[in-house]
Structure 1
Amino acid sequence: MADQITSTRHLVVAEITGYAHELADTYRTQTPAYSRTRGGRIKLTGVHSTEQDGLLVQLAEAAAYGVTSPDDVHGARPVPQSRPPGTWEALALHATISTDAARWTATLELGHRDTVQATVRQLAAAAAEPRVLDDVVAAALAGAMRRWHVRAQALIGWITEPYRPRATCPVVTCGRRDTLRVNVARKAAYCAGCLSIWDDSDGSIRVLAQHIEAQTNSRAVQAERVRSGHAGRGGAWSVRDGGGGE
């Protein structure tokens, strides 16, 4: 039993460390590249390595300069322009994470740090010390860091704005439309209304995808015959969205 508890604690600490690393530190991502052979088969041709800033840095830059486009030169700060939708959300999320992280350090009496990145690293280090965080508190911290991580991933979209499906939030107590923010490539999403999150760590992103697909398919495009104003010319056709009003 003791070995099982120790193993569970180890997994929780590893989860916290992973989230903290992507939130606070620069790291490299590996993206496979494929090509199609003459016979039509897909062949792995190599792996593209890219250095990514931590999510918190990306959030801060998105708040200050707007979301970058794929045409921006990597590593170059984009030219300030009209802020696209989502910029103020990035600012609000960065402030929320900063406040939540500071509240955690205050509760655990860990002391103040100058930056939110340093605060996140401090929390990850504290999680490895059972005398500082017991198992219950460590699990709660892992849940909090997961929420920060998923929301940041979904919102900034790494290089583009997040996908905003015309679907309602599947959470029964929410159900609002146009509040979902989805990063398809990173398999992360959240609702700007109720702040629920979905990702690939527990398979919840697939459930959300099925919900969005079902609502998209239910918006059947209907053809409605409209009478022509000219006698003997038959009818004209128009197309309308049969999914109901917004």
Structure 2
Amino acid sequence: MTPAQDAAAALLQSNRRRRLVRRWVLIGTLPLTLAALLFVGKLLSMYAFAHQAITAYVVDDFAGSEASARGQDVLNWFEPYKAPYNIGTALAGAEQLPDSRAELERALDLAHGLEVCAVRVNLALVIERMGDAARADGDGTAATALYGEALTVTVETPEECHSDEAQQQSPDPERDMSDTLDNTEDRLKQKQQEQDQEQQPQEPQDEEEKPQPSEDKLQDLQDKLEQGTQERDQQQGDEPGGTGTDKPW
């Protein structure tokens, strides 16, 4: 082979090696590339589902809000409490209170730090509404128990939830979180007190005994009635066309 042919063969072999190296590099980095794409896709989908859930909830489309929130629950790696929190909030709007409570309790288990503040607020309100429903159905015992559970959730809320930082993270900026917690606690205490008063046994009140007439008075009244009847019969017998009907007084 001529020197030129040797150089061409060496270049071809070098190109083959470079292609082989690039191929292995591509194969080696493929999992990282896929993971990065999945990471970006998950972030975008989480934002989209969260936005849809909030938008639907604002217009009272609670079914749509729940569906979007459940989309957040798939591969729920980032802020995992938010998906069940949004699901539970949507279910509360649809008056599916037991299911709402279950989702909010799941969110509370996943929340950390100031994340628990909004979860506890909504959970206490849902349990309180369950108590109101039991009270409306006449089940005072269940209502009292539910009010107590809601009060416990409120009282056990960390003190940090009354801070300005917690207010800044509130999902409802127009609602003061500290005031909401205080008002909920006061309201639940009042409802518990009302339930306790309603459930206290009422002592039967003895009816006042009416004085009974004596036997002499009864006999005197009977004599007068008989005398009046006889006189009336005599008068009606003397009047022609008597009908036997008492005259008006």
Structure-2-length-normalised TM-score: 0.25
For CA contacts below 8 A with separation 6 or more, give which structure has more relative contact order: 1
Structure-1-length-normalised TM-score: 0.26
Determine which structure has the larger helix proportion and give its number.
2
Q: Which has the larger radius of gyration?
A: 2
Determine which structure has the larger strand proportion and give its number.
1
